[in-house]
Amino acid sequence: MRYELIVFDWDGTLMNSVPKIVACMQAAALDAEWGALSVSAIEDIVGLGLPEAIVKLCPGIQPVQAELLRQRYAHHFVYSDTTPMPFFEGVEAQLVRLRQREQQRLAVATGKSRRGLDRVFAETGSGEWFHASRTADETRSKPHPQMLSELLEELAIPVERAVMVGDSEYDMEMARAIGMDRVAVTYGVHTPSRLAVSQPRWVAHTTSELFDWLYG
């Protein structure tokens, strides 16, 4: 077993939710009268906590307008947008397989809110796959490493026995900040060259490559 603890990012790593995030953020920006946002700009902030994402996405936005944009994004995401959010191919079966290994621990570190993560856990039945999770609104947003530090402490696992898996530089940098191994996946939001800056131990181009390596 390569690692006792595998920590997964959610959006763009386990679940193909980026198209929905983009659609909801574009609609919210128009609702809040900020203006049009490009797909590439929104993809760039996937993985950050929502308040941090809005600040980066909309430089100079005032607090009242930012709060309106946040509220409208949440509304579209939960109630009005119908863009599907499937797991990437093989993710469900592979996580169940990993979960069944003796002494294997799985966790989630995500830019989602606790409410949002719990909702998707309930909708997909996936919450039982993980021993612990952290969200951006209950600790510090990526790339700050606090959520990883808290997961390590909660599960009593040393950093050298853990790995972070993600599709963004925010995932890679929060792991690098505490000396945790990291695996980059290139089918998410950030380019291979951007991910390479953080010196991941492994780069997976498909979910099959990812889980084959993790299971090794």
Measure the CA–CA gap between 9 and 169, rounded to whole angstroms.
11
| Residue 163 φ/ψ, nearest 5 degrees | -140, 145
User: How distant, in Å, are the alpha carbons of 99, 127, 138, 191, 209 from that of 163?
Assistant: 15, 20, 21, 20, 16
Measure the CA–CA gap between 67 and 61, rounded to whole angstroms.
10
State which CATH number among 2.60.40, 1.10.10, 1.10.150, 2.30.30 fits the domain covering 18-80: 1.10.150
pTM: 0.94
Q: Kindly report, residue by residue over 188-201, the tens digit of the pLDDT.
A: 999 999 999 999 99
Determine the pLDDT at residue 157: 98
Q: What percent of the chain has pLDDT over 70?
A: 100
**Taking Cα atoms as reference points, which of 166, 192, 178 lies closest to residue 111?**
166
Class for domain 5-16+85-214, per CATH? Answer: alpha beta
Q: How is the chain split into domains, by residue range?
A: 5-16+85-214, 18-80
Determine the pLDDT at residue 90: 95
Q: Kindly report, residue by residue over 31-50, the tens digit of the pLDDT.
A: 999 999 999 999 999 999 99
